[in-house]
Amino acid sequence: MFSKACEYGIKASIFIAINSYKGKLVSPKEIAKEIDSPQAFTAKILQDLVRHNIINSIKGAYGGFEIRKEELASIKLSQIVNAIDGDNIYNGCGLGLNNCSEEHPCPVHEKFKSIRDNLKYMLENTNLEELALDIKSGASFLKV
């Protein structure tokens, strides 16, 4: 479904979100430990998310990654997925035709589109804050 990079990116963002609540910066090392991902690879993904203005980095000593508190509720999963994997998963054809359209549908188009639209809707309407709160309360988990 999502690439490894994207899975790490989502989980990392959630972990950063939790800590940003408390005003705490986190490092790639801490993040990789908490989400059970390769550290250097995770660091690359974090850079990517910074470039896409999804997370914020503070360079130098005592630096780290954060998400501005006021943005926590407005950052949607779709932004993270789009930044890392692009929009193919929720806009592209399920069988790889160049374009998904009603005019030139692939064999699964009719059956696939509602699923893909549900996914799109879910990604565009799920924000980091709600996901972070579930982790905080122990209702969900980032690893294992």
Return residues touching DNA (CB under 7 A): 3-5, 8, 25-29, 37-41, 43-44, 46-47, 50-51, 57-65
**94/57 Cα distance (integer angstroms):** 36
Q: In sequence order, what are the beta bridge partners of 127? A: 76
From the DSSP assignment, how many helices (H) and strands (E) are in the chain?
Answer: 7, 2
Cβ atoms of residues 91 and 120 within 8 Å: yes
- Dihedral of CA atoms 19, 22, 26, 32 in degrees, nearest 10, equals -20
Q: Among 19-27, 42-50, 52-60, 104-112, which window interacts with a second copy (CB under 8 A)? A: 104-112
Q: Which is nearer to a second copy, 25 or 106 (CB)?
A: 106
**52/107 Cα distance (integer angstroms):** 35
Least spacing, CB of residue 127 vs a second copy, in Å: 11
Least spacing, CB of residue 109 vs ligand FES, in Å: 4
Contacts to ligand FES by CB under 6 A:
93-95, 97, 100, 105-106, 108-109, 112-113
Decide which of ligand FES, a second copy, DNA, none touches 33; Cβ closer than 5 to 8 Å per partner kind: none
